[in-house]
Amino acid sequence: MTNGAAAPVDPSGPAGDRVNISDARAIRALAHTVRLKVIEELFDTQQPATATELAQRHGLTPSAMSYHLRALEKWGFVKRSANQGDGRERHWQAAAGRLDVTSVADSTAATMGVVDVELNDLRARLAKYMKRDKQTPNPDTWRQEGHLAALSTGRFYLTAEQRADLGRRIGEILLDYSPTTNPENRGDGAEKLYYVLSFLPGDLDAEEAG
């Protein structure tokens, strides 16, 4: 899994320009809405910020934000940068140019904690989108030139080979656009776009019933 701040990892990219997280305790540390938003901001902008600045933007006190930043620092998501300005307050920055968070086999609880937070965030974003546009997301929007669906659901019946092909093709598309996570690679007028992908086997209900 990747969090909201992450992009598909380009294997040809410099290893030193990304942080790979797979430790279950580190993943568990992400299961907090504010922490995910702070990571997203710091990795998106690649600009340092103080705890006070981040607190103002995310509705916390500076002391509470400092607590979250120290927790994120402990697991390698963020780091302290050189003091700027008058040096009275420490600046924080993303630990690298890119972040990849990968679930591991023995971290189901940690992974689900992050999934719950991200799904709640997705639900809130969908609600805001529908309120703004005063319409229900159209599953067929992506078929229209220049548009993407806010939410699309459906079913496929695929062989193992077809599943592998689908994964490969989607991965290639995401990799084509992943360089835009770096501010230097964004075109004029570029706007942030969130994506969520989930492909689940259809026999899960039958397994649970059995």
Residue 22: which CATH number? 1.10.10.10
| Local confidence band at 209 (pLDDT 50, 70, 90 cut-offs) | low
For residue 119, what pLDDT is reported?
Answer: 84
CA distance 24 to 76: 13
Mean pLDDT of 140-162: 78
Would you say residue 80 has pLDDT above 80? Answer: yes
- pLDDT(160) > 90: yes
Domains identified in the chain, total number: 1
Residue 9 has pLDDT above 50, yes or no: no
Output the pLDDT for position 158: 94
The pTM (predicted TM-score) of the whole model is 0.64
pLDDT 10s digits, 28-44: 888 898 999 999 899 98
* Distances 196 to 68, 87, 151 between C-alpha atoms, Å: 25, 39, 9
* pLDDT single digits (tens) 17-30: 777 777 788 888 88
On the question of pLDDT at 5 being above 50, the answer is no
Inform me whether the pLDDT recorded for 205 exceeds 80.
no
Domain containing 117 equals 1-210
Q: What mean pLDDT value characterizes the chain?
A: 80
Distance CA 59, CA 50 (A): 14
Question: What is the pLDDT, as a whole number, of residue 77?
Answer: 92
- Structural Rg of the chain based on CA atoms: 19
- Region 132-144 average pLDDT: 64
- What single letter denotes the amino acid at residue 12? S
